[in-house]
A and B are shown apart, each in its own frame.
Chain A
Amino acid sequence: MSLLTAEELYGGYGGGDILNGVSMHVDAGEIVVIVGPNGAGKSTAMKALFGLVNVRSGRVTFRDEDITRLSPDRIVGRGVCYVPQEANVFPSLSVLENLEMGAFIRKDDYSAQIERVFELFPPLKEKRGQAAGTLSGGQRQMVAIGRALMLDPSVLMLDEPTAGLSPKFIDLIFERIQEVNASGVSILMVEQNARHALSLADRGYVLVLGANRHEDTGPNLLADREVAEMFLGG
């Protein structure tokens, strides 16, 4: 069953359209990766699923309900969480407080979820009292993903989760994303490290100029000669 679906989205941030008919879907339990050249509208497409883009026409549905015009804070409440590429932590808040903010709308006791995030990212447990702004890039990314996991979402959207990280952290973040996925969270991510991301993806979309160019399973996209030459750097 499709959890999250976008049909023929057109729209942008107020000026011209950046999305020119993008369609995509995420099924339960999948890892879906969006790749494509710079300016293809990869991040914009993902933001459109989260109510952050003016969608002029098209439809976004989550569990068969229309969420196209819902604001992000409503979408979060339904179990779709999003990690922006930049400015994705509260720098002056401690690690623990960042996680608490992720759970802001939860009225129940979420201490077990905090423990789960600490298990996933052990360095955060040590640094729980430290301001997130003082952490390394990799650890900040852990806080950002941890914050988004606090609602125990059914879909986690990640915008370039490994951008600017050292190779050691890139492997670690990808590994953890797979672990999160194995626990039942569907993943939709935009990635620059396209080869690495596609190698662990169930499916991938190649976007060009705000529209779908290719769609296939991760391994098939990696094996596709045209995709490899044009979008994965040969």
Chain B
Amino acid sequence: MIDFLQIVIYGIVLGSIIALGAIGVSLIFGILRFAHFAHGDLMTLGAYFALAGVAGMSMPMFAAFGLALAATALVAIGIDRALYSRLQQVSPIILLISSVGVALMLRSLVQMIWGPDNQVYEQGITMPWVFAGGLRIQPTQVMIVGGAAGLMLLLHLFLQHTRFGKAMRAMSDNPDLARLSGINTERVVILTWIIAGVLAAAAGIFLGMDTRLHPIMGWKLLLPVFAAAIFGGIGKPYGAVAGALVIGLAQEMSTLVLPAAYKPAVAFALMVIILVWRPTGIFRGKVL
């Protein structure tokens, strides 16, 4: 029983990290209608920006994290202005392929600057809290789940209660009608990249805290992130959160019966099943 609870905790932590990435993928698909393959590497970049703050400039953790979120959002806007916005008029496939190129560039950049080795934010071992029955929870795990939940709550409030949040949902629903209504769609696109960039950086940082930093850490998470976005119904940020928890829990629980190396295969299998059984996802999103 304790083993099972322990795995549920791992699953929720992983699900929270995946959710932050999947929300971004889902929002970008909703607004710009393409699958953003550089999202994993955007997470990696965010994680290393934070490392530069913590290790390079010896800033306090939270300041470094905040700076990394802002810097990643800026990079996301820069990539959109330099590349994606110019390709908007052509087919979504071209955009998708260009984002694969961006993914490779970001990863190489990270490797050139910070090297190919594993790195951590803090040296040493933190002691977990041990509960009755031997259940162990790391302080970082609480921080990850709490941080992710906080960011999601902020996003929820933004989407439901602000003028531009509603405009973002409107544009995801019907971009032509949004334009006809006089909604400034350019601003909505930039906002989308800010949100996606901030959430991707947070996902990367949390992944770095949970495990360690490596130039392909984000790329490896891209499959579960897409699986979660598709599972929840692509274009539906709330679905992405639900999908992420399902994928996170399924991946961790699979270790009860399968070797841990098969975790990505579990995400992949779930993605294939949902695409065959219900291509719009559980929340009736768009079809890729």
Does B118 belong to the interface (CB within 8 Å)?
no
B166: A residues at CB distance < 8 A: 93, 97, 100-101
How many CB-defined contacts (below 8 Å) exist between A and B?
61
State which of B58-66, B176-184, B211-219 sits at the interface with chain A. B176-184
Does A121 belong to the interface (CB within 8 Å)?
no
Interface set, chain B 159-198, CB cutoff 8 A to A: 163, 166-167, 169-170, 172-174, 176-185
Q: How far is the CA of A89 from the CA of B178 in the complex (A)?
A: 9
Does A87 belong to the interface (CB within 8 Å)?
yes
B172: A residues at CB distance < 8 A: 92
Q: How far is the CA of A73 from the CA of B177 in the complex (A)?
A: 10
B167: A residues at CB distance < 8 A: 101, 104
Contact A73/B182 with A101-B167, A104-B163 known, Cβ cut-off 8 Å: yes
A181: B residues at CB distance < 8 A: none
- Render A130-167 as a binary contact track against B, CB cut-off 8 A, 1 for contact: 00000000000000000100010000000000000000
Contact A90/B182 with A101-B166, A101-B167, A104-B167 known, Cβ cut-off 8 Å: no
9 A-B residue pairings within 8 Å (CB atoms): A76-B182, A84-B180, A90-B178, A93-B170, A97-B169, A101-B170, A104-B163, A104-B181, A104-B183
Q: How far is the CA of A77 from the CA of B182 in the complex (A)?
A: 7
Q: Identify the closest chain A residue to B171 (Cβ).
A: A90
Interface set, chain A 29-82, CB cutoff 8 A to B: 50, 71-73, 76-77, 82
Does A91 belong to the interface (CB within 8 Å)?
yes
> Which residues of A are interface residues toward B (Cβ below 8 A)?
50, 71-73, 76-77, 82, 84, 87-93, 97, 100-102, 104-105, 147, 151
A91: B residues at CB distance < 8 A: 173-174
A76 touches B180 (CB 8 A): yes
B169 touches A151 (CB 8 A): no
A101 touches B183 (CB 8 A): yes
B182 touches A89 (CB 8 A): no
A105 touches B169 (CB 8 A): no
Q: Identify the closest chain A residue to B186 (Cβ).
A: A73
Question: How near does chain A come to B108, taking the closest CB pair, in angstroms?
Answer: 39
B169 touches A102 (CB 8 A): no
A92: B residues at CB distance < 8 A: 169, 172-173
A90 touches B179 (CB 8 A): no
